[in-house]
A and B are shown apart, each in its own frame.
Chain A
Amino acid sequence: AQSVSQHNHHVILSEAASLELGCNYSYGGTVNLFWYVQYPGQHLQLLLKYFSGDPLVKGIKGFEAEFIKSKFSFNLRKPSVQWSDTAEYFCAVNKGANNLFFGTGTRLTVIP
């Protein structure tokens, strides 16, 4: 079945540590890729997106993600996390329509 997989359910890091959250998808063909973030008590909001071009995309708040087509992956990275990055992170995919297919999410807890 086609799916979006996020391997880490809960990640705990100390401030200034580096972050990498995995995302793999199983859809073939052209896909559009997204990372959404949900801070405690807030709406889901877009962190970054990839449609085409440079496979390394930069988003808000110092986050970036790399699209590796051969690995069907779109991992999220940040070199140095802050306490304010504590949130739930969702990877999502669409295939040219507006239907978004989400991963199960990764909860990130950053310890001051």
Chain B
Amino acid sequence: SAVISQKPSRDICQRGTSLTIQCQVDSQVTMMFWYRQQPGQSLTLIATANQGSEATYESGFVIDKFPISRPNLTFSTLTVSNMSPEDSSIYLCSTDGGREIDEQFFGPGTRLTVL
């Protein structure tokens, strides 16, 4: 299994600003994922982040809005850029724990409110 922590746990931000969310895993993993859970909706995959390569974004998500870093095998960041109230969501980091097509382990999430 993998234990994941995220910072910050929650934040309230002003429109037009950016927030970087950090995700730390307690072991080295190949794949890390970023999800968004908007109020009353399901989790939606934003992008997949592999160490040493550019993140792969899902349809509807772009790098300019959600730049991702993956500097090593235990850490990743997601930045929510030029925020608007529509970006108010819970953002979750996950990893597959280094095993292919197996369960994913999730972080506690970051609750973002944009005013």
Q: Decide yes or no: A90 and B42 within 8 Å by CB, A98-B33, A98-B48 being known contacts.
A: yes
Distance between A26 CB and nearest chain B CB, rounded to angstroms: 14
Which residues of A come within 8 Å of B, CB atoms?
Answer: 4, 32, 34, 36, 42-46, 49, 51, 90, 94, 96-105
Offer 8 A-B interface pairs, CB within 8 angstroms, sorted by A.
Answer: A32-B101, A43-B106, A44-B92, A44-B106, A46-B103, A46-B104, A96-B101, A105-B42
Contact: B107 with A98, CB < 8 Å?
no
Contact: B48 with A104, CB < 8 Å?
no
- Is B31 an interface residue, CB under 8 A from the partner? yes
Contact: B108 with A102, CB < 8 Å?
no
- Is B58 an interface residue, CB under 8 A from the partner? yes
Distance between A102 CB and nearest chain B CB, rounded to angstroms: 4
Distance between B29 CB and nearest chain A CB, rounded to angstroms: 11
Q: How many angstroms between the C-alpha atoms of A104 and B43 in the bound complex?
A: 7
Contact: A51 with B48, CB < 8 Å?
no
Distance between B92 CB and nearest chain A CB, rounded to angstroms: 7
CB within 8 A of A100: which of B4, B40, B100, B104? B104
Which residues of chain B are within 8 angstroms of A49 by Cβ–Cβ distance? 102-103
Known: A4-B42, A104-B40. 16 other contacts (CB 8 A): A34-B103, A42-B108, A43-B4, A43-B107, A46-B104, A90-B42, A96-B101, A98-B31, A98-B96, A98-B100, A98-B101, A99-B48, A99-B58, A100-B33, A100-B43, A102-B42
Which residues of chain B are within 8 angstroms of A45 by Cβ–Cβ distance? 106
Enumerate B14-32 residues with CB–CB distance to A below 8 Å: 31
Which residues of chain A are within 8 angstroms of B45 by Cβ–Cβ distance? 99-101
- Is B53 an interface residue, CB under 8 A from the partner? no
Task: Determine the residue in chain B with the shortest Cβ distance to A32.
Answer: B101
Q: Which of A36, A45, A102 has the most CB of B within 10 A?
A: A102
Q: How many angstroms between the C-alpha atoms of A93 and B10 in the bound complex?
A: 28
Task: Determine the residue in chain A with the shortest Cβ distance to B109.
Answer: A43
Task: Determine the residue in chain B with the shortest Cβ distance to A49.
Answer: B103
